Amino acid sequence: MTKIAVVLSGSGVFDGAEIHESVLTLLALERHGFDYQCFAPNIEQMHVINHLTGDVAEGESRNVLVESARIARGNVKDLAEAKADDFDAAILPGGFGAAKNLSDFAVKGSDCSVNPDLVNFIKGFAKDKKPVGFMCIAPAMLPHIYGEGIKLTIGTDQDTADAIEAMGGVHQACPVDNIVVDAGNNLVTTPAYMLASSVSEAAKGIDKLVDKIADMLG
Amino acid sequence: MTKIAVVLSGSGVFDGAEIHESVLTLLALERHGFDYQCFAPNIEQMHVINHLTGDVAEGESRNVLVESARIARGNVKDLAEAKADDFDAAILPGGFGAAKNLSDFAVKGSDCSVNPDLVNFIKGFAKDKKPVGFMCIAPAMLPHIYGEGIKLTIGTDQDTADAIEAMGGVHQACPVDNIVVDAGNNLVTTPAYMLASSVSEAAKGIDKLVDKIADMLG
């Protein structure tokens, strides 16, 4: 059975994995008949955001793996133990967790670094040209994984696109209901909530991303 | 435009609203062209469950409204301010939050009480026969809102069904991909994750529940 790794970064758009994007990803994978396993790093979140007010919840701390388990209904494993050889493809939903917990792109922009376990894991797919899908802000990490010249989208935000190009990525503007494909690397990206104004709008690009990965898997 | 109220009870199956059920509900509502507004009570959760281990996170406390904002991407209002007159229908996703935060059914079974703001809110729909949908464990609260003889399902769990019947409800066994309709009250229920083993399985019943509510709204 085709097995897909889904890497989460917490649970909540402002400090973790975007919940709608994550659930839509799991739903699309199942509807293709794919099996999946969720992973997340066993690290503290950069911070906790009160999602009602948008403020930092001072004095609160949460663990990325433990919070990701909310989306995964308990079935999530430590990213440090993930092996690319066990999977046919990998997908990263977005949310600020991708830019705060899996990397520090939200703070450092083009000077960011990326979680080494994530880099190692995704490089395991990249070297064999296995399909990989990144959505929302998560593609900002891709130049640090695939290297210069990697083609991707985060939608249309010019500042973010400039930062990605400063890291060696090739940014291509893309509407919410479409994908950008780097065919040489079997890499698919979609803007999702970088542009979406609703869950059904996000679903259009995410479904297309998963469809494309299914195509690549034959 | 048709407006639907969605009442959440936190964010995470073991201590809040079931995340998949909640997102699937919002997605189905949007695909019918319905507008929605999320609500949640501004109260502390019964407790916080570490969703990785299943254990109570001792010493931690979280607010139901604040955590629900994770699913609603910030756009959630206090249930105490919700007015049934502003909406055409109401839906409650499940998760243990329905039985721990919106009621104490998880602790007291048939001796449970239900959050008074929720009772008042849903009674506002019931008196005008406006469509209402409850899923997963949430229907256990319905005898306290609609009174004796209300027909509903929580799937096939006999102990839960017995507790519901002890409160005056009429439980009807139902598979995960179907719904139970109390036509006289325009009330629809579906088992969702009381029986579902995956997100796509839960989606079948939830989509059917929202379809039925759309039918009732004409």
Q: Which residues of A sit within 8 Å Cβ distance of B?
A: 11-14, 16, 19-20, 23-24, 26-27, 30-31, 50-52, 54, 65-67, 69-74, 76, 193, 198-200, 203
In this structure, is the dihedral angle defined by the CA atoms of residues B95, A10, A57 and B54, taken in order, positive or negative?
positive
- The pLDDT value recorded for residue A88 is 98
Convert the pLDDT of each residue in B179-196 to its tens digit: 999 999 999 999 999 999
DSSP states along A36-72: EEEEE-SSB-S--B-TTT--B-TT---BHHHHHHHHT
Residue A128 has a pLDDT of 97
Residues A72-131: pLDDT tens digits? 999 999 999 999 999 999 999 999 999 999 999 999 999 999 999 999 999 999 999 999
Q: Which residues of B touch A52 (CB under 8 A)?
A: 65-66, 69, 74, 76
Please indicate whether, in this complex, the C-beta atoms of B200 and A30 are within 8 angstroms of each other.
Answer: yes
CATH architecture of A3-217: 3-Layer(aba) Sandwich (3.40)
The ipTM (two decimal places) reads 0.98
Positive or negative, the CA dihedral A198, A200, A204, A205 is positive
Contact A51 B66 (CB under 8 A): yes
Q: Which residues of chain A have pLDDT under 50?
A: none
Supply the pLDDT for residue B206. Answer: 98
Residue ranges per structural domain of chain A: 3-217
- Find the catalytic residue in B38, B112, B136, B174: B136
Report pLDDT for B114. Answer: 98
pLDDT in the model for residue B128: 97
Mutate to test the interface with A, among B37, B62, B73, B210 (most CBs of A within 10 A): B73
Task: Please give the pLDDT value at position A154.
Answer: 98
Residue B166 pLDDT: 98
Task: Give chain A's end-to-end CA distance (angstroms, integer).
Answer: 13
Active site residue A38: no
Tokens read off for B28 = 């189905």
Q: What is the pTM of this model?
A: 0.98
- Residues of B near A (CB-CB distance < 8 A)? 11-14, 16, 19-20, 23-24, 26-27, 30-31, 50-52, 54, 65-67, 69-74, 76, 193, 198-200, 203
**Beta-strand (E) ranges in chain A?**
3-7, 35-40, 76-78, 89-92, 132-135, 151-152, 170-171, 180-182, 187-190
pLDDT computed for residue A59 by the predictor:
94
pLDDT of residue A172: 98
Percent of chain B residues topping a pLDDT of 90: 100
B51 contact residues in A (CB cutoff 8 A): 66-67, 69-70, 72-74
Q: What is the mean pLDDT of chain B?
A: 98
Per-residue confidence (pLDDT) for residue B135, from 0 to 100: 98
Residues in chain B with pLDDT values less than 70: none
Contact B54, A74 (CB under 8 A): yes
> Could you tell me which chain A residue has the CA closest to the CA of B19?
A71
SS3 A150: coil
